[in-house]
Amino acid sequence: MRRSMLFIPGNTPNLLMNGDVLGADSIILDLEDAVSPAEKDSARILVRNALKSLHYKGCEIIIRINPVETDYWTHDLDEIIPLKPNMIMPPKVSCAQDVKTVSEYIAKLEEKCGFEKNTVKLIPLIETAMGVENAFQIASADERVAALFLGGEDLTADLRCKRTKEGNEIFYARTRLVCAARACGVDVYDTPFTDVDDIDGLYTDAQFAKSLGFSGKASISPRHVEGINEVFSPTQAEIDYAHEVMETIRIAKEQGKGVVSLRGKMIDAPIVERARQVIEMEKAMFGGTEDDE
Amino acid sequence: MSKLVASIKEAIEQCGLKDGMTISFHHHMRNGDYVLNMVLDQIAKMGFKNLTVNASSIFDVHEPIIEHIKNGVVTGIECNYMGAKVGKAISEGIMDKPVVFRSHGGRASDMEKGTSVIDIAFIAAPTSDDMGNCTGKVGKSACGSIGYAFADAMNAKKVVVITDNLVEYPLVDFSIPEVYVDCVVAVDQIGDPAGIVSGTTKITRDPVGLKMASYAAKVIEASGLLKDGFSFQTGAGGATLATAKYVKEMMLEKGIQGSYGMGGITGYMVDMLQEGCFKALLDVQCFDLKAVESIRTNPKHMEVSATQYAGVSGKSAGVDNLDVVLLGATQVDLDFNVNVHTDSNGYIMGGSGGHCDTAAGAKLAIIIAPLTRARLPLVVDRCLCISTPGKTVDVVVTQRGIAVNTAGGKNQELKQKLIDAKLPVVEIADLKRMGEELAGVPKPIKMGDKVVAKVIYRDGTLLDEIHSVK
């Protein structure tokens, strides 16, 4: 389950040490924008040591490396891959080749470390106009790609428009990414809401992202994590309905019925699939229910 | 008749200061205080030696006292809190006689019981008339409540009021009445307003602090104490104030009207009063301008003395009816003893204040602290100094787990309630292990042989001794 992804600057020991207690499903340990060029080395070492010595229980680890056009990204991967993070987030990915470049380098390191192939997944950060236009190619570039992530700040700079709370300027990019990701069967994550103090605004933005089809949302502030988790969690009514759907299907199968309906509505494959997803989320959130035992 | 004298020198002469006497000060001017330094400088000029300073707190601004110790002007210190600058010098052993640490309640009570005798009390007063009716609520150096000074005024053999806002007699709405005051001195400035109270007290933005605060609030909710009539004390520290925010939200959501909020009061507690969370505030000290404004204008925001706040010499005190108190810690040990006197290297950098008073009085005493601090684990085998006995501590909240003190069979029900509320309840030894996993096992600190401070519990018994740092 990945509803919230929290950015943690790679040069903040206190936050690195407490990354797993802040409520986020995933934490993104950042070696890129949060770290000035003078601190790249020390942040990389700090993140490496954090991965070595901290458990990060119940929390997925994503490392945002530096972009492929810099000299840093291979050093980042050299240090980080041996510690087997769950995912690598290459930033400013504009085309399929960017993904392949990173993936091939990771493959070599995986082999060197004796890891199974494609152990470490990729979540390309798409934050350029070119990246948005190439979203489908990026999502389908490599088996390693498990999700796409939209970066609204750099994108609006590239689009030469102002980033607003309403987000009209990134509407196209949002829907384009959702469509590309879903077409490739991977997850898709929305850009952070950057006004840290505006919790109401965060809810509105997250609800809108969910309505477009995003799997979850990133955050630059721990204060947003709870709201994001709440928005991207199924409601109790949705959970109850999902169990009802599965129960109806089970009874129908027992009775040998082909077509069944619930509350006057036919239960077709997409409804069953949605119910299954909701129950999976429920299991991840609460550790399963009596129904599953 | 007027009690006004021309100078601090004249007041000292009139009160008959002699070598070997004890003089007292309150700390409502906090780190902006000019009075303690002003008086000691004058005393030194006049050639007095061997004095004991009994100040409710010594702040970093009082660093010049170190020179007075070296010169033999000051040979004894009694206080409830000591900031790191003077604390370091004391820990290094610059004074022969150990510092006597009391609690806020213990200090006032010891004066009332006569076990702590004050020869001359110097009371910084933001406003006074020439007969000594004085208050902290108004004036250019307004600090709000002067609750800690009541015991000094009522029990010292001689009392000098020092003000920078002399008004015509009679001062309306005085805190300390003229009946206790021997003389009044007007000076240009009794303190630096910037150091006396903060403009605003802000809630922490530190995510780890907020996580702890959220747990602490859930502990309070799960305890069952959060209901009509709830009484509550919290400090001005980051995570404790954030807990108050969560508690306030719960109270407003559930329509709970508490009884009283107490202690050092921040603007945040004032908001809770104004929004109906409490019927009254019992204020022994104001932390920010909003609290000062409130105590001046809102009759439900009441000034109380240290004795009424936390003493043991009265027939009752506010702490006795307290439901919940949130407290900090620099160290907690496996018996839940808490250290707020020394840092992890053994240097004095704090003191009980009202810590042990409120822990003893409250139904639920919650310690809230990060599992590691400055790369050292919070929980240790044995605290370097016991400031608050573990038997008065109920719960320790960290960002990674909550430990309930069930020693002697107490708090079993509370522990179950927290487990039922799905809070991460662990044993205190687990917190120690987790802290050590993150920060490593610290090397034991080797302290010197010299006793540099004695920690006196609120009932007058010796709680612990602090040794010099090698």
Q: What is the CA radius of gyration of chain A?
A: 20
Write out the DSSP string of A166-234: S-GGGHHHHHHHHHHHHHHT-EEEEPPP--TT-HHHHHHHHHHHHHHT-SEEEESSGGGHHHHHHHHSP
In a domain, B462, yes or no: no
List of domains in chain A: 4-232 (3.20.20.60), 236-292 (no CATH)
In a domain, B455, yes or no: no
Q: B207: which chain A residues are within 8 Å (Cβ-Cβ)?
A: 15, 18, 22, 221-223
Tens digits of per-residue pLDDT, A222-270?
A: 989 999 999 999 888 999 999 999 998 888 888 888 778 888 888 888 8
Which of residues A248 and B38 earns the better pLDDT score?
B38
pLDDT above 90: residue B109 = yes
The model's confidence at residue A287, banded by pLDDT at 50, 70 and 90, is low
Q: Are residues B59 and B173 in the same domain?
A: yes
Which of residues A174 and B194 earns the better pLDDT score?
A174
A128: left (phi over 0), alpha (psi -120 to 50) or beta: beta
* Partner A contacted by B399 (CB < 8 A): yes
Q: Which amino acid is at A230?
A: E
Mean pLDDT of the region B45-53: 98
Q: Are residues B188 and B256 in the same domain?
A: no
Q: Which token pair is A52?
A: 């070595």
* Domain residue limits at B429: 207-446
Helix (H) or strand (E) holding A125: strand A125-126
Mean pLDDT of the region B313-337: 96
pLDDT above 90: residue A55 = no
Q: A53: which chain B residues are within 8 Å (Cβ-Cβ)?
A: 438
Percent of residues, chain A, with pLDDT higher than 70 = 98
In a domain, B454, yes or no: no
Q: Are residues B244 and B377 in the same domain?
A: yes
The model's confidence at residue B375, banded by pLDDT at 50, 70 and 90, is confident
Q: Are residues B77 and B212 in the same domain?
A: no
pLDDT above 50: residue A292 = no
CB pairs under 8 A between A and B: 28
Task: Report how far residue B78's alpha carbon sits from residue B330's, in angstroms, rounded to the nearest whole number.
Answer: 21
Q: B437: which chain A residues are within 8 Å (Cβ-Cβ)?
A: 55
In a domain, B459, yes or no: no
The tokens 């204060």 sit on which residue?
A223
Q: Which of A20-29, A173-182, B128-137 has the lowest mean pLDDT?
A: A20-29
Q: Is the CB of A17 less than 8 angstroms away from the CB of B210?
A: no
The model's confidence at residue A37, banded by pLDDT at 50, 70 and 90, is very high
Nearest chain A Cα distance for residue B8, angstroms: 49
The model's confidence at residue B369, banded by pLDDT at 50, 70 and 90, is very high
In a domain, B9, yes or no: yes
Counted residue by residue, chain A has a size of: 293
Model-level pTM greater than 0.95?
no
In a domain, B457, yes or no: no
Q: Are residues B240 and B333 in the same domain?
A: yes
Q: Are residues B185 and B219 in the same domain?
A: no
Q: Are residues B153 and B211 in the same domain?
A: no
pLDDT for res A266 = 84
The three-state secondary structure class of B114 is coil
Q: Are residues B189 and B282 in the same domain?
A: no
pLDDT above 90: residue A190 = yes
- Looking at B196, B222, B239, the residue that finishes a domain is B196
Give the A window 21-50 contacts with B, CB below 8 Å.
21-23
* Partner B contacted by A222 (CB < 8 A): yes
The three-state secondary structure class of B269 is helix
pLDDT for res B237 = 77
In a domain, B366, yes or no: yes
Q: Are residues B149 and B93 in the same domain?
A: yes
Q: How many folded domains does chain B comprise? A: 2
* Partner A contacted by B387 (CB < 8 A): no
Which of residues B238 and A217 earns the better pLDDT score?
A217
Mean pLDDT of the region B220-241: 92
Tens digits of per-residue pLDDT, B61-89?
A: 999 999 999 999 999 999 999 999 999 99
Q: Are residues B19 and B137 in the same domain?
A: yes
Q: Is the CB of A21 less than 8 angstroms away from the CB of B210?
A: no
Give the A window 48-87 contacts with B, CB below 8 Å.
53-55
* Partner B contacted by A175 (CB < 8 A): no
Q: Are residues B175 and B215 in the same domain?
A: no
In a domain, B217, yes or no: yes
pLDDT above 70: residue A290 = no
The three-state secondary structure class of A231 is helix
- Looking at B196, B217, B237, the residue that finishes a domain is B196
Mean pLDDT of chain A: 92
CATH number of the domain at B147, please.
3.40.1080.10
pLDDT above 80: residue B131 = yes
Q: Is the CB of A222 less than 8 angstroms away from the CB of B399?
A: no
ipTM, 2 dp: 0.71
pLDDT for res B150 = 98
pLDDT for res B142 = 96
A21 → closest Cβ in B206, B211, B437:
B211
pLDDT for res A269 = 84
Nearest chain B Cα distance for residue A190, angstroms: 22
Q: Which of A172-186, B120-134, B372-386, B407-421 has the lowest mean pLDDT?
A: B372-386
Mean pLDDT of the region B11-37: 97
Q: B399: which chain A residues are within 8 Å (Cβ-Cβ)?
A: 18, 21
Nearest chain B Cα distance for residue A21, angstroms: 7
Percent of residues, chain B, with pLDDT higher than 70 = 100
pLDDT above 90: residue A1 = no
Mean pLDDT of the region B219-233: 97
Which of residues B198 and B106 earns the better pLDDT score?
B106
Output DSSP code: residue A145.
B
Q: Are residues B178 and B253 in the same domain?
A: no
Best residue in A8, A12, A17 for a mutation probing chain B (most B CBs within 10 Å): A17
Best residue in B203, B204, B208 for a mutation probing chain A (most A CBs within 10 Å): B208
Which of residues A248 and B306 earns the better pLDDT score?
B306
Nearest chain A Cα distance for residue B208, angstroms: 7
Contact B420, B444 (CB under 8 A): no
Q: Is the CB of B211 less than 8 angstroms away from the CB of A17?
A: no
Task: Report how far residue B416's alpha carbon sits from residue B427's, in angstroms, rounded to the nearest whole number.
Answer: 13
B208 → closest Cβ in A18, A53, A55:
A18
pLDDT above 50: residue A291 = no
Q: B211: which chain A residues are within 8 Å (Cβ-Cβ)?
A: 18, 21-23, 222
Which of residues A236 and B3 earns the better pLDDT score?
B3
* Partner A contacted by B374 (CB < 8 A): no
Mean pLDDT of the region A49-54: 88
pLDDT above 80: residue A293 = no
Q: Is the CB of B207 less than 8 angstroms away from the CB of A223?
A: yes
Query: CA nearest B233: which of B322, B306, B335?
Result: B322
